[in-house]
């Protein structure tokens, strides 16, 4: 094991455009983000003036994991688990950018292996434990947590718009949930609990499903749900969760075919760079 100050210095940004069994089109989102991320890193390299990007640009390695052949799809799950595990094993900070939310299942499975002191702060409009009559029992992007080997890691959801599932059922899978409607009235209980749980955890992972945003701010999702979080509320939650114990962030459900003037793309690229700065810039020089 590396010492803490040596660990998680490098970032592996992995782009895995998986979008079977729901939100077809979100795979193109992972590809587009890979292009934009690559361009951002290339621009940093070409810039001659010292910019804030110098804090992270030599520490970030990106890799695209194409899904092109039948064989790629046959082994998608095993391959993704292997990749996530190898990044965590090497104690690198993990950016896992995938298509639909099901593409985050390997991330949960590998995080679950780290034990109960590892926390997941999930930003998602849905609680992906759907078992209702019109839902498939087969693995899908709406029920993948049911297929994750139990016990799940402790999960705190912020931003759900769930109106059907009963609280006792939800409690079997989630440590806590803070619906967007509660956050709208008073965000303080959610921020307090996220801050407290993150401070007590050994490691923290963030799982950002883009449908957590209100569609007014982020139109590019396959299943937009109204009354979502604003980008400002998302920033406040990320801030509450943040510390140097955050060692991985997943992004999913960006469907660029539904974007408006690249509004959603710009939101994600900004957020990716913001998180890298948060991770790498010395705190005393940071202005946001
Ligand atoms: Mn969702």
Sequential DSSP letters for 177-238: EE-HHHHHH--HHHHHHHHHHHHH-SEEEEEEEGGGB-TTT----SS--SS-B-HHHHHHHH
User: What distance in angstroms lies between residue 2's CA and the mean position of ligand 1's atoms?
Assistant: 35
In sequence order, the 6+-apart residues with CB closer than 8 A to the CB of 114 are 88, 153, 202, 203
Ligand 1 centroid–CA 282 distance in Å is: 33
What is the Cα–Cα distance from 272 to 23, expressed in whole angstroms?
Answer: 22
160 CA → ligand 1 middle, Å: 8
Neighbours of ion ligand 1 (CB under 5 A): 124-126, 209, 211
3-state helix, strand, coil in the chain (%, to 5): 40, 15, 40
Q: Give 115 Cα–ligand 1 centroid separation in angstroms.
A: 25
Tell me, in angstroms, the distance from the centre of ligand 1 to residue 216's CA. 16
Ligand 1 centroid – CA 125 distance (Å): 5
Taking the centre of ligand 1 as the mean of its atom positions, its distance from the CA of residue 18, in whole angstroms, is 15
Q: Which residue has the tokens 């801030």?
A: 239
Q: Which superfamily does CATH assign the domain made up of 6-131+153-287 to?
A: Ureohydrolase domain (3.40.800.10)
Find the 281 Cα to ligand 1 centroid distance in Å: 31
Tens of pLDDT, residues 214-265: 999 999 999 999 999 999 999 999 999 999 999 999 999 999 999 999 999 9
What is the whole-number distance in angstroms between the Cα of residue 46 and the centre of ligand 1? 37
pLDDT value at position 141?
65
CA 74 – ligand 1 centroid, Å: 24
Pair 123, 207: CB distance under 8 Å: yes
* Per-residue pLDDT of the chain in tens (288 residues, 90 and over written 9): 444 456 678 999 999 998 888 788 999 999 999 999 999 999 998 988 889 999 999 999 999 988 888 888 888 889 999 999 999 989 899 999 999 988 888 888 888 888 889 999 999 999 988 777 766 677 766 787 887 777 889 999 999 999 999 999 999 999 999 999 999 999 999 999 999 999 999 999 999 999 999 999 999 999 999 999 999 999 999 999 999 999 999 999 999 999 999 999 999 999 999 999 999 987 766 665
Predicted confidence at residue 2, as pLDDT, reads: 44
266 CA from centroid of ligand 1 (Å): 20
Is 231 in contact with 281 (CB distance < 8 Å)?
Answer: no
Contact 255, 222 (CB under 8 A): yes
């Amino acid at each position: 094991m590396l010492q803490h100050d040596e660990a998680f210095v490098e970032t592996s940004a992995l782009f895995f455009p998986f979008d079977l069994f729901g939100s077809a089109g979100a795979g193109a989102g992972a590809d587009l983000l890979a292009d934009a991320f690559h361009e951002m890193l290339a621009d940093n390299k070409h810039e001659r003036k010292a910019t804030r990007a110098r804090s992270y640009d030599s520490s970030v390695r990106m890799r695209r994991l194409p899904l092109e052949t039948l064989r790629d799809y046959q082994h998608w799950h095993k391959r993704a688990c292997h990749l996530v595990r190898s990044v965590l094993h090497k104690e690198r900070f993990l950016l896992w950018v995938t298509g639909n939310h099901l593409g985050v299942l390997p991330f949960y499975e590998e995080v679950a292996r780290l034990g109960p002191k590892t926390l997941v702060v999930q930003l998602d409009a849905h609680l992906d434990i759907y078992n209702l009559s019109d839902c498939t029992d087969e693995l899908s992007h709406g029920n993948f947590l049911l297929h994750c080997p139990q016990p799940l890691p402790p999960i705190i959801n912020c931003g759900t718009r769930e109106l059907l599932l009963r609280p006792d059922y939800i409690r079997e899978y989630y440590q806590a949930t803070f619906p967007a409607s509660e956050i709208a009235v008073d965000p303080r209980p959610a921020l307090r609990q996220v801050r407290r749980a993150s401070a007590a955890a050994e490691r923290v992972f963030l799982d950002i499903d883009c449908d957590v945003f209100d569609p007014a701010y982020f139109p590019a999702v396959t299943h937009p749900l109204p009354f979502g979080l604003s980008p400002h509320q998302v920033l406040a939650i990320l801030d509450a969760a943040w510390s140097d114990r955050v060692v991985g962030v997943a992004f999913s459900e960006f469907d660029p075919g539904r974007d408006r003037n690249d509004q959603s793309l710009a939101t994600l690229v900004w957020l990716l760079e913001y998180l890298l700065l948060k991770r790498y810039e010395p705190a005393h020089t940071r202005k946001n």
